[in-house]
């Protein structure tokens, strides 16, 4: 009976919330920033804020800190929030609340990040667009979509163009879905960093420096990125020169990279199309910079790659950016492979071998070119440190479980 009473109270609470919910409308015109920001402040749980079609020009950033609300436009090409003249605020829109739905509008030319979400438990970004309209420049904002330290993150049907770091970035978060989206002319198209439990699928990543990145970095509160599925994507024609500001880790990624995995574990990459990437279609590498973070594990492990389609790559390697392309070009004597693994593992595993459960598994067509090296043989000057037989890495695929997130 007690459980039944609690259930009834919950249902009544939801009904009362829906009854009290209201829809607020904002139209373009004088004082549009003040009116929109005030509306965001005064929202109550269950409310819907509709930003009518039109062009809105702002000099200040916007912020939302009310949970269980929806902010919507009337289409990503109809409701335009323009921050070209922004004088204050580190981003276009900052969200710091839970169970929020954002949909059907664009954020253009933000001074910093376009859409930043911090510490949200339940954030849905649907049919949104972020863009820097002046083309690829190091002065563009770092991130288009930028949820961090969040849970139950959904990015669906979105477009990201021109970010000087990543168009779609999810960092230090868990329970993530990025799908049906387009990332173009960014440094990194889509990046999952230091995150747990992510599905990235049915996306187009093209004309970036690199298409899709799965990274784990040191000196961050959440480390040990794992359980990431990247599937049914097109990582094609990533041919934009790296325009990241100096000092950014992504500034070391060479132009012409399809997908790159660095220092993550339990990553499954399957049913993707990788083609037209001038340096390499797929790279699997360790974090190579020095770090004092004793808790950080810099090597990828439990990586499974299968049933992907590979087109032309390696035809225009970027030898000017970072060390990856230069090293690969030297090792391969210019014959760049579809898949590259740097072969770097802890010293004990170089000598004794990797645990079976940690090994790289590659179940691809025989025509897929592959290259890895034995670091010890390479350092000691052995005559044959290079391995190119992809068949050596065939094995049983253990599919990762699909990701489910709470939607509101």
Residue 354's pLDDT is what?
Answer: 86
What is the rounded average pLDDT of the residues 78-100? 96
Could you please report the per-residue DSSP string of 348-396? HHHHH---GGGS-EEE--TTS-EEEE-HHHHHTT-S--EE--GGGG---
Residue 377's pLDDT is what?
Answer: 62
Per the prediction, the chain carries an average pLDDT of 93
Instruction: Tell me the per-residue pLDDT of 303-359, one tens digit each, with 9 for 90 and over.
Output: 999 999 999 999 999 999 989 999 999 999 999 999 999 999 988 888 788 899 999
Residue 363's pLDDT is what?
Answer: 98
Residue 239: CB atoms within 10 A of its CB come to 18
Q: DSSP secondary-structure letter at 313?
A: B
Could you please report the per-residue DSSP string of 170-239? EES-EEEEEES-EEESSSEEEEEES-EEEEEES-EEESSSEEEEEE--SSSSS---EEEEEES-EEE---
CB contact at 8 A, 305 and 282? yes
Instruction: Tell me the per-residue pLDDT of 41-63, one tens digit each, with 9 for 90 and over.
Output: 999 999 999 999 999 999 999 99
Could you please report the per-residue DSSP string of 254-288? PSSEEEEEES-EEEEEES-EEE-BSSEEEEEE---
Residue 29's pLDDT is what?
Answer: 96
Instruction: Tell me the per-residue pLDDT of 305-314, one tens digit each, with 9 for 90 and over.
Output: 999 999 999 9
Residue 13's pLDDT is what?
Answer: 43
The confidence band for 382, taking pLDDT boundaries of 50, 70 and 90, is low
Residue 348's pLDDT is what?
Answer: 83
> The pTM is what?
0.93
* Of the candidate ranges 128-142, 144-158, 164-178, 351-365, the one whose mean pLDDT is the lowest: 351-365
Q: DSSP secondary-structure letter at 16?
A: H
Residue 350's pLDDT is what?
Answer: 81
16 has a pLDDT exceeding 50: no
* Of the candidate ranges 73-82, 333-342, 350-359, 390-399, the one whose mean pLDDT is the lowest: 350-359
Residue 12's pLDDT is what?
Answer: 42
How much of the chain, in percent, has pLDDT values that exceed 70? 93
Provide the strand spans (E) within 119-184.
Answer: 121-126, 129-131, 143-148, 151-156, 159-161, 166-171, 174-179, 182-184
Output the CA torsion sign for 268, 395, 344, 243.
negative
Task: Report helix, strand and coil shares of the chain as percent, to nearest 5.
Answer: 15, 40, 45
CB contact at 8 A, 132 and 106? no
Strands 386-387, 370-373: pairing is antiparallel
Rg (CA), the chain: 23
Please indicate whether residue 17 or residue 146 has the higher confidence score (pLDDT). Answer: 146
The confidence band for 379, taking pLDDT boundaries of 50, 70 and 90, is low
Residue 180: CB atoms within 10 A of its CB come to 15
The confidence band for 3, taking pLDDT boundaries of 50, 70 and 90, is very low
Domains parsed from the chain with CATH numbers: 132-393 (2.160.20)
Residue 380's pLDDT is what?
Answer: 61
Sheet with strand 129-131: strands edge to edge: 54-57, 79-82, 106-108, 129-131, 159-161, 182-184, 204-206, 234-236, 273-275, 309-310
278 has a pLDDT exceeding 90: yes
> How many whole angstroms separate alpha carbon 141 and alpha carbon 160?
12
CB contact at 8 A, 86 and 58? yes
Residue 378's pLDDT is what?
Answer: 63
- The counts of H helices and E strands in the chain are 5, 34
> How many whole angstroms separate alpha carbon 10 and alpha carbon 96?
25
* Of the candidate ranges 7-11, 79-83, 210-214, 302-306, the one whose mean pLDDT is the lowest: 7-11
What is the rounded average pLDDT of the residues 231-251? 96
């Amino acid at each position: 009976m007690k459980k039944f009473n609690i259930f009834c109270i919950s249902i009544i609470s939801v009904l009362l919330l829906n009854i009290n919910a209201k829809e607020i409308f904002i139209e373009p015109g004088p004082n549009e920033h003040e009116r929109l920001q005030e509306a965001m402040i005064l929202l109550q749980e269950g409310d819907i804020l509709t930003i009518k079609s039109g062009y809105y020009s702002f000099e200040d950033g916007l912020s939302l800190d009310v949970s269980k609300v929806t902010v919507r436009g009337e289409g990503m090409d109809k409701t335009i929030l323009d921050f070209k003249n922004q004088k204050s605020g580190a981003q276009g829109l900052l969200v710091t609340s839970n169970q929020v739905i954002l949909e059907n509008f664009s954020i253009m030319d933000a001074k910093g990040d376009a859409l930043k979400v911090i510490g949200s438990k339940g954030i849905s970004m649907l049919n949104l667009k972020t863009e820097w309209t002046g083309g690829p420049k190091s002065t563009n904002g770092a991130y288009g979509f930028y949820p961090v330290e969040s849970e139950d993150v959904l990015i669906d049907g979105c477009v990201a163009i021109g970010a000087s770091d990543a168009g779609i970035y999810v960092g230090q978060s868990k329970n993530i879905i990025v799908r049906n989206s387009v990332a173009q002319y960014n440094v990194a198209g889509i990046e999952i960093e230091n995150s747990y439990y992510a599905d990235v699928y049915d996306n187009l990543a093209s004309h970036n420096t690199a298409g899709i990145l799965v990274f784990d970095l040191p000196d961050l509160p959440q480390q040990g990125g794992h359980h990431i599925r990247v599937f049914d994507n097109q990582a094609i024609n990533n041919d934009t020169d790296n325009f990241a500001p100096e000092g950014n880790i992504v500034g070391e990624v060479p132009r012409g990279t399809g997908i790159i995995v660095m220092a993550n574990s339990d990553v499954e990459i399957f049913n993707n199309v990788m083609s037209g990437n001038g340096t390499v279609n797929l790279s699997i590498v360790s974090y190579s910079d020095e770090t004092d973070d004793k808790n950080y594990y810099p090597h990828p492990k439990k990586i499974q790659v299968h049933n992907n389609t590979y087109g032309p790559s390696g035809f225009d390697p970027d030898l000017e950016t970072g060390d990856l392309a230069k090293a690969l070009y030297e090792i391969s004597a210019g014959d760049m492979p579809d898949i590259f693994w740097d072969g770097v593992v802890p010293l004990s595993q170089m000598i004794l071998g990797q645990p079976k459960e940690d090994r790289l598994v590659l179940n691809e067509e025989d025509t897929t070119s592959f290259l890895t090296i034995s670091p010890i043989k390479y350092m000691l000057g052995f005559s044959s440190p290079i391995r190119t037989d992809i068949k050596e890495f065939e094995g049983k695929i253990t599919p990762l479980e699909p990701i489910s997130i709470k939607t509101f």
